Amino acid sequence: MEENINQINLLYVDGEETSSELSELYSESDLGFKVDTVSSAEEGLDKLHNRRYDIIVSDYFLYGMDGIEFLKNIRGSGNNIPFIIFTGKGSEEVAMEALNAGADYYLRKSGVPKVRFGELRNYIIKLVEKRRAEENLDKNKILESRKNIEALFNNIDLLLFVLDERGFILNVNDAVINCLGYNKEEIFGQSVLMLHPEEERDKADCIMNDILAGKYDSHQVPLVTKNGHKILVETKVSWGEWDGQPAIFGISKDISQLRLSEDKFSAVFNSSASIMAVSTKEDGRYIDVNDSFVRKIGYPRNEVLGKTANDLNLFVYPEDRLNAFQILEEEGRVTDIEIPVRKKNGEIMYGFFSVDYIIFGKIPCLLTTMVDITARKNAEEELQKIRNRFELAVDASEHGLWDWNLDTDEIYFSPRYYTMLGYEPEELPMSLSTWVDLMHPEDRGEVVPRIYGYVQEARPYREDFRLRKKDGSWMWISGRGKSYEVDDEGIPHRAVGTHVDVTYRKQTEEALKALNKKLNLLSSVTRHDIINQLSGIRAYQELLKGEIDEEKVREYLEPMIKATAVIEKKIRFTSDYQDLGVHVPAWQNIESVVQSVMQQICSTLIKVKSDTGTLEIYADPMLEKVFYNLFENAFWHGENVTEIKVSFHEKDGFGVVVVEDNGKGVAVNMKNRIFEHGVGSNTGLGLFLVKEILDITGISISETGTEGSGARFEITVPKGGYRME
């Protein structure tokens, strides 16, 4: 039967508790428990040798070895399995001793059994889940490390062998396969001795044992290819670990290639793209350099041969040469150390240096190889410059910067983040709780959940809130942030943002609000008084009109009545204009707005059709005034309008709401002027107000109808300003 991977395997060591009590441990758990119960520490140790457990729960008082000695025995063997002391007769001293010995928790059995076992169950689940998470993380790291090792393993030109303790082959690198002509299936699991000539196998076995015993650093041992060709190699052997098991590592260098004739060596030597040079081991004078050396360093061969690196002043830092020779003496070779060199023209070139001992024309020599990494270094330096510019820009902007790792909850705050609040960076910890604790209590309950929501949904945000400064005062902050490193499931793993001091702006806004409040109050009182006076004037005008029979006087009185009406309408307009932009824009359903306006107009002469459905636009709360004025404009000025149609379509990335009627339309010379203040057949305020309301949220309006066929107003909404719910 397949084992549940989420099951918790528990070893319970207690001479008193019964299995019925233990049932409380797993009866309510979704994970499930598999419990083995023993009554002594000795039995527990036997169980551990024969089975893998996720956690151990042990009493302190046991027969023979007590619980703490049991724990010390386990920890002494290198086993870090979670361990809980669960006892009813312990003391504070026992608890301290248990924790010092490596126990993860110490629990008393006193109390209601269901409660105490429930608490124990919770601790077990918590410890096991923590350990499994750590093991998974370790496995991922090992896997990644293994990939890197295998990549390096197979890109090394040396012959690499991994053997078990008996000398059987566990793994080899690609160089072995290419050199000896076998495929991996032919040699995996075979004794490494099969790769030596039959007559040399006993000798090879003894030599390997001597090297492992420390008698030699290396030895020359021949290998044989699949087709029987012998290759002389120099081999080093050492102990190590492979896949968690003891292993023998063998590194063989084909020295037969280094003993080929100079002509054959030169062919390989000069075809390399890497810079290569051969110098005498004794005094370091160059015997030969390859074409890449001549081309990249810039010296002709005749200016190099017979001279040393010091003669040519190749090393930018002389100590680099001394360091390389020290490594060569200690380790027998130099591999990929970064050293800058000076070219003939004075330019600096960066490279990875490797040095090996070789025999060249029967002379002990050094083969030096340099891989040019100048382009990479230049790219790194340019990247560093960009980073420096970014840091300077952030510092100059006086913005506080934060960088949040959503997986670990680790967060970075830039120095300016602290200093803008009057703190030094070391005075407060880099943690989310620092940010939350500094926030004003009135803002915390709303702002923190909102920002968490934006971050988890990978949406950019901008929020204003107050943070407490070191001196106790409050600073208004404009916080902006955005999520990054979003995976295929839409889950972000990083968020970055800034804090900007907007205290002055907030103070200015509050001052403006107070001033506007006073002005609005003054305007309201003044308007109320003027309208009352105008109402009186109009009443007297109407009375006078009824009392006067003379045609000439009535002719003069009529313009006065009209002028008074216009004045009153303009005064009432200031009430609408006063509210313009005062309230926060909101999403509004066009269909609902149209229906509300029709109820206000109460006209049975005009039929209104709307097919905007669920369309919503983001606009000032006075949007209803827009449609009211457009409908009223059609009613009063359209002449015989019987139908108004409201529709919606998209064009060039914008949303377009169309309001059109079947009246007389708008004259061509008036299309661009009807939205101006004071232009029109009445007060010239209605369409001006329409344009001003829409402008608040970036919406534009234009008249596109044909004179004689009706007016057509197109309300153009920018991308992001409309939606279909």
Handedness of CA 433, 438, 441, 445 (dihedral sign): negative
Q: Could you give phi then psi for residue 360, rounded to 5 degrees?
A: -125, 110
Share the mean pLDDT of the chain: 82
- Domain presence at residue 284: yes
Does residue 373 sit in the same domain as residue 403? no
Does residue 456 sit in the same domain as residue 526? no
Q: For residue 419, what is the domain's CATH number?
A: 3.30.450.20
Does residue 492 sit in the same domain as residue 512? no
Q: For residue 540, what is the domain's CATH number?
A: 1.20.58
Does residue 26 sit in the same domain as residue 89? yes
Give the pLDDT score at 652: 92
Give the pLDDT score at 515: 66
Report the alpha-carbon distance of residue 150 to residue 152 in Å, rounded.
5
Does residue 67 sit in the same domain as residue 96? yes
Tell me the pLDDT tens digit for each residue of 40-97. 989 989 888 888 899 999 888 888 888 889 889 888 888 889 999 888 766 778 888 8
Give the pLDDT score at 556: 66
- Separation in Å, CA 46 to CA 15, 56, 67, 103, 421: 16, 13, 15, 20, 61
- Domain presence at residue 300: yes
Give the pLDDT score at 1: 42
Query: Could you tell me the residue range of the domain that residue 626 belongs to?
Result: 586-724
Give the pLDDT score at 105: 86
Report the alpha-carbon distance of residue 459 to residue 72 in Å, rounded.
52
Which residue has 């601790």 as its token pair? 123
Give the pLDDT score at 258: 53
Give the pLDDT score at 711: 92
Choose one of 377, 407, 423: the last residue of a domain.
Answer: 377
Tell me the pLDDT tens digit for each residue of 414-441. 888 899 999 998 899 988 889 999 999 9
Does residue 195 sit in the same domain as residue 291? no
Give the pLDDT score at 56: 92
Does residue 607 sit in the same domain as residue 714? yes
Does residue 220 sit in the same domain as residue 235? yes
Specify the pairing of strand 607-610 against strand 712-717: unpaired
Does residue 20 sit in the same domain as residue 65? yes
Choose one of 501, 518, 534: the last residue of a domain.
Answer: 501
Give the pLDDT score at 684: 47
The two three-digit tokens of residue 332, written as one number: 């027998």
User: What are the b/e assignments for 510-531, b being 16+ CB within 10 Å?
Assistant: eeeeeeeeeeeeebeeebeeee
- Domain presence at residue 384: no
- Domain presence at residue 421: yes
Give the pLDDT score at 723: 92
Q: What is the DSSP string of 501-518?
A: E-HHHHHHHHHHHHHHHH
> How are strands ordered across the β-sheet holding 586-589?
586-589, 615-619, 722-724
3-class DSSP state for residue 32? coil
3-class DSSP state for residue 609? strand
Nearest to 659 by CA among 602, 605, 621, 701: 701
3-class DSSP state for residue 167? coil
Specify the pairing of strand 643-651 against strand 607-610: parallel
Reported as type and span, the H/E element at residue 584 is: none
- Domain presence at residue 704: yes
Report the alpha-carbon distance of residue 396 to residue 390 in Å, rounded.
10
Q: For residue 692, what is the domain's CATH number?
A: 3.30.565.10
Read off the pTM: 0.34
Does residue 285 sit in the same domain as residue 366? yes
- Domain presence at residue 382: no
- Domain presence at residue 150: no
Give the pLDDT score at 469: 94
Question: How many domains does the chain divide into?
Answer: 6
Ranges of residues in the chain whose predicted pLDDT is under 50: 1-2, 18-19, 27-30, 683-684
Nearest to 678 by CA among 511, 552, 566: 566
Choose one of 208, 230, 255: the last residue of a domain.
Answer: 255
- Domain presence at residue 657: yes
Does residue 179 sit in the same domain as residue 86? no
Give the pLDDT score at 76: 87
Report the alpha-carbon distance of residue 649 to residue 658 in Å, rounded.
8
Give the pLDDT score at 270: 74
Does residue 700 sit in the same domain as residue 612? yes
Give the pLDDT score at 165: 84
Nearest to 631 by CA among 596, 589, 668: 596
Give the pLDDT score at 347: 92
